[in-house]
Amino acid sequence: MQVDPRQVDDQSVQARIWAERDWVPLAQAIVEKSCPVFGLDQKGTGRLTMAVEEVLMHLARTAKNTEIRLDIQPGGWYVAARLSFYADPSELWAMNLTAVPMKGDTPDLDHLGLVLASRMTDRFDLTVEGGRVQLTLRRDLPYPTVTAEPRPRIVPKGPLTIVFDPDPDLVKAACIRALGLYRPEQLHHSFFKPGKLADMVARGDMAMAVALTKTLEPAGMVCWQGNSGITFFGPYAFDQARESAKLLINHLIQRVARTGAKGMFSGLATQELPPGDFESLGTYGPGSKTTETRVWYRHLGEDPGTSVWSHPDLIPFLEKTYPPLWLMRQIRPTQDLGERHPERSVLSARLRPEISEALLVPLVGGRDMAGCLADHVAALQAEGLDRILFQTDLSSGWQAALGRAALDAGFTPKLVLPYGGKSDILVFQYERV
């Protein structure tokens, strides 16, 4: 019997294994037996098992006898396998989207496994702290995709009420209405799988408020997520007068302000966002399936100020960006004083093919970053994704230093997302013709 993953989302399975071929069957068995308990189907379980197997086989060759901590973690709407170990993180470069599993006409057997592992996951993430690498491989639970037919906006009778943290059926109903009224570039990717969004809301990975009519019919919704910096999506108004939009945004501001968050910005804003409540951070240029996108921001209390890192070539952009937002920042220039850097880079590519958009996030900043970015741009454009973004977290000196590589690869700084990560996020867009 399959267990409802929401009932076991505080459980995980841990094992301490070693980077040797003899340990691979044990790791396979752990993944194969754990994933179904957490709701993953046979196909997803097989793919995650293969991904873990290939990473272990790679480590058995490149970091033999290294201790590995393996955790299988349920996420309510996904299952993640986290491997923690000491090794050179640049050895994982073959997980890049652009990695080619061939050397001329022969297979590159030393790296083929990592290429396969990255293709077997819905997303992978990588962090390095104190020399310890944490590689997380994620497979999402299966959900049906919904294509909603266009529907007219409603004319509610009587006042609207706001429901926070709606039940799954209301989440799905609101999602389907939004799909029928808004363009794909205005919708969070989870909206196309309403069951997935329902599980995200139930787990707390996405917050949501719905406006209801007196007859309990959805009249609008807004979603948000984050901690210090809140990202919101919407508002989505289903009523002809768009009265739900103002009510939902007021509710969002009041609720988020009580959490201690420092600010909030739009991930995807609609034309119903009430004027005057937010100020502009800047815009992303249009793509073939996407219009110019403006990003809106609102302070939530007085900014206490902080320090950020920046490559010297990006300091003028930051010095121009921060003052109009009344954000107090001490900008620290990064310096390369001959210290050792990884040879190869690793990037996470988060793709939205339905709107031809890709976001590149640095996981390992190698000396080849400019070339790695250029290779990703070429590969993404070949697949028809022509709005390509790249972001760096300015809390980290090594990430901020990648600004020069981004410029060399044809990217232009577009805007700063205050507290969008551990600190502010600087977002670039590829613009070289």
The model's pLDDT over 289-342, given as tens digits with 9 standing for 90+, comes to: 888 999 999 998 777 789 999 999 999 999 999 999 888 999 999 998 778 888
In the structure encoding, which two tokens stand for residue 372, read together? 């790695």
Domains identified in the chain, total number:
3
| Single residue among 75, 109, 140 that ends a domain in this structure | 140
CB neighbour burial string for 98-132, b if at least 16 within 10 angstroms, e if fewer = bbeeeeeeeebeebbbbbbbbebbebbebebeeee
Kindly report the backbone phi and psi dihedral angles of residue 427, in degrees, each rounded to the nearest multiple of 5, phi listed first: -110, 130
**90 falls within a domain:** yes
Residue 256 sits in a domain whose CATH number is 3.40.630.30
Judge contact between 101 and 111, C-beta under 8 A. Answer: yes
In this predicted structure, the answer to whether residue 203 has a pLDDT above a threshold of 60 is yes
- Whole-model pTM: value is 0.92
Strands 357-364 and 387-393: parallel
DSSP 234-264: EEEE-BTT-HHHHHHHHHHHHHHHTTT--EE
Residue 238 pLDDT exceeds 90: yes
Whole-number pLDDT of residue 101:
65
Give the pLDDT score at 379. Answer: 95
183 and 213 co-located in one domain: yes
Residues 18 and 124 both lie in one domain: yes
In the predicted structure, residue 1 carries a pLDDT above the cut 50: no
30 assigned to some structural domain: yes
| Residue spans of alpha helices (H) in 182-314 | 194-203, 243-257
- Is residue 433 scored above 70 in pLDDT? no
What's the rounded Cα separation, in Å, for the pair 348 and 126?
9
Does 150 map to a domain? no
Residue owning tokens 């920042």: 329
* Domain that includes residue 203, residue range: 161-277
CA dihedral 330→284→357→93, nearest 10 degrees, is -30
More confident residue, 16 or 275: 16
361 and 249 share a domain?
no
- Give a yes or no: residue 188 inside a domain: yes
Q: What is the DSSP annotation of 362-398?
A: EEE--TTHHHHHHHHHHHHHHTT--EEEEEEETT-HH
Q: What's the confidence (pLDDT) of residue 4?
A: 53
pLDDT digits (tens, 9 = 90+) for 119-144: 999 999 999 988 899 999 999 999 99
Average pLDDT over residues 367-383: 96
Q: Tokens 């000491």 belong to which residue?
A: 86
- pLDDT above 60 (res 427): yes
Sign of the dihedral defined by the CA atoms of residues 91, 95, 98, 104, in that order: positive
